[in-house]
Amino acid sequence: MSKKVVVITGANSGLGLETAKHFLSKNDLVVMAVRDITKGEAAKEELLQLYPDGKIDVLYLDLAKLTTVREFAAAFAKKYKAVDLLINNAGVMIPPYTKTAEGFELQFGANHLGHFALTGLLLPLLEKGEHSRVVTLSSIAHRNGVIDFDNLDGSKGYKPMKFYSQSKLANILFAKGLDELLKQHGCKTISLSAHPGISSTNLFRVGKDKTPWYIKPLMNLFAQSAEKGALPTIMAATDKTLVGGEYIGPDGVGNRKGNPTIEVPHKKVYNKETMEKLWNVSEELTSISFDFQGNTQVTG
């Protein structure tokens, strides 16, 4: 018998794949929400080599297309009655200036808005889950992030790292704000955020190109493996002492490497005004309104 239903976005590689391995080792059912079905099926076969009795489902989800987020949620609801864990793992890092299908800047659109919409649509099923949690991946890059509400689409100027940091700040603000609202409305689901420190994954590419040869030796010095980088996510998803709202990261210098621990962001990070404005803007842009009563209202 499966213990939990675990949805992991971007589960076909890197941190997502390592996270999937953990839950398969516990006999959980893993739903791989992936943008490329061919790569997802290949990853599934790789995982089944390690866990021949593993329960894996591969479903299409492109976080840069909100129509597919809705389609994923609808398809998922037809197959499953509940979600125990939603791990908002997928991410895009420092691409050339690109827009999503709805015209959002790609990093803000895929990293934040796509996951915001997905979480809202799956919330009724999360509430039906057992000890349900939402874990959203942020990054140490959030420390340099500022939510520029006047230029969210990058039309007034675009710098890849600046917009990546903005999206990762949005991730941590969303996770914290969601947990506060869940508690306020008496929901049983909790929300946490995590980050991998600096991990050697396929995020470290320049656009569509592979990691430059001269970066790889530096990565070996400063980064940890994807397997180690996934541990904060796994802790956030499974540690029974966590109550929601925590931020989990590596315990080493600068939180770049090490073992997972509760990390306390700078006191300026959780700015209430920014958090509330981000939530309202996200609802408006995605046309997803969380009602926290077991029903998600889809408008527009």
Q: Among all residues, which ones are annotated catalytic?
A: 164
In the chain, where does DSSP find H-type helix?
14-25, 37-50, 66-79, 106-107, 114-127, 160-184, 215-222, 226-229, 231-238, 272-286
Other Cβ atoms closer than 10 A to 97: 15
Instruction: Read off the amino acid at residue 75.
Output: A
Other Cβ atoms closer than 10 A to 180: 17
- What distance lies between CA 101 and its chain's CA centroid? 19
Task: Give CA–CA dist 70/55, Å, rounded.
Answer: 24
What angle is formed at CA 125 by the lines to CA 120 and CA 127, rounded to 5 degrees? 90
Cβ distance 135 to 189 under 8 Å? no
Instruction: Enumerate residues 6+ apart whose C-beta is below 8 A from 85.
Output: 4, 5, 6, 7, 23, 129, 132, 133, 134, 135, 237
Cβ distance 256 to 198 under 8 Å? yes
Strand-pair category, 288-289 with 29-34: unpaired
CA atoms within 13 A on the CB side of 89: 34
Among candidate residues 17, 12, 64, the one with its CA nearest the CA of residue 38: 12
Q: What is the DSSP letter of 228?
A: H
CA atoms within 13 A on the CB side of 206: 6
Residue entry with tokens 């929300």: 191
Task: Give CA–CA dist 128/132, Å, rounded.
Answer: 8
